[in-house]
Amino acid sequence: MIDFLVIGGGIAGCSVGARLSDLGQVMVVEREDALAYHASGRSAAMFEESYGLPSTIALNEASKSYHFDAHGGVVSPRGLMLIGTALNADDFAADLVSMKMEDIGLDAGRAFIPILNHHVTRVGYHADAWDLDTDKLVQDFARTVRSNGGTVHQGAEVTAIIRTATGWEVTVGGEVIAARAIVNAAGAWVDEVAVMAGIAPLGVTPLRRSMARIPAPGGHDVSRWPMLFGPGETWYAKPDAGALIVSPAEEDPMPPMDAWADDMVLAEGLARYEAHVTEPVTQVTSNWAGLRTFSPDRNLVLGPDPADASFIWMAGQGGYGFQTAPAASQLVADLVAGRPPQIAADMVARLTPDRLARSSGQENPR
């Protein structure tokens, strides 16, 4: 019998598997043939410390040293720029404060991004936003699982889960694995895994987020451009491998699935981007979509289930999975081990799964 069976091989599953591998024998299982295939493989790959709800920011802050230092670090400079017009002045002002930016003026903004057009009236900026090497981060965590005696299996679908007197029996790819605890890190499928195990689902909502890759506008070298945001996060654009990726930043509810971009939604997002620049979009070289999965209160869900401590949640990362992974996985391991968490108690209370039962007044049926 192993100690921890982690269901899901994205950044959530690999990171929590690595942390728990210090406490016992870990097996990470991923249904797809590659790790980080779904939401993790379709991320904008940014670390921005002040981005998210207070509990997310607490996890960001606690993750920073890992991102910068562990295994040689996974960050590189990018910067973040907020682009405002006369039509969204209130949203611009609110985002400027919440994202701790400086209003740098149009001339300074165009020194960064020479294609900003005459509709742009204000520009906010801060340098403390970083590209994340997401593949390295996933592989570093998976390597830690293996180096501590655990295993990582791809192409391994979970088809049945049975509670036993000593833990769980999980059917994985036709083989039955006995485990003392299950870690549910299945992304958009976390509620389906819970129901399979007889655990009350969280009521998560997977939301589609689409991306389009376009050639570098006007032939510019975009490698040092910051990431661009529209106020209220109505669109964003980010340099990537010599091109730009542009997103409409939509949040369209979807069932758990291998998501794809909607052409009309992408067109609307590209139009919002085009409204701020001098160079029209003449070509889309590729597009894709991922599902960002949120809990009902949009905080992450981390730790043992209140009705069965052998069922552990690493869920509801939304769009914050990579930047919070070091601290989120550490919090889960601390809670499982009975150690004092590294983040403040009031933030822990916003992240553990029992707060959802408290807020609804319902108990887990187990």
Give the per-residue SS3 of the chain.
CEEEEEECCCHHHHHHHHHHCCCCCEEEEECCCCCCCCHHHHCCCEEECCCCCHHHHHHHHHHHHHHHHHHHCCEEECCEEEEEEHHHHHHHHHHHHHCCCEECHHHHHHHHCCCECCCEEEEEEECCEEEECHHHHHHHHHHHHHHCCCEEEECCCEEEEEECCCCEEEEECCEEEEEEEEEECCHHHHHHHHHHHCCCCCCCEEEEEEEEEECCHHHCCCCCCCEEECCCCCCEEEEECCEEEEECCCCEECCCCCCCCCHHHHHHHHHHHHCCECCCCCCCCEEEEEEEEECCCCCCEEEEECCEEEEEEEECCCCCHHHHHHHHHHHHHHHHHCCCCCCCHHHHHHHCCHHHHHHHCCCCCC
Full set of structural domains in the chain with CATH: 2-66+133-204+297-360 (3.50.50.60), 80-126+206-294 (3.30.9.10)
- 0.75 exceeded by pTM: yes
Per-residue pLDDT of the chain (366 residues; tens, 9 = 90+): 999 999 999 999 999 999 999 999 999 999 999 998 886 667 778 999 988 999 999 999 999 999 999 999 999 999 999 999 999 999 999 999 988 899 999 999 999 999 999 999 999 999 999 999 999 999 999 999 999 999 999 999 999 999 999 999 999 998 999 999 999 999 999 999 999 999 999 999 999 999 999 999 999 999 999 999 999 999 999 999 999 999 999 999 999 999 999 999 999 999 999 999 999 999 999 999 999 999 999 999 999 999 999 999 999 999 999 999 999 999 999 999 999 999 999 999 999 999 997 555 444 333
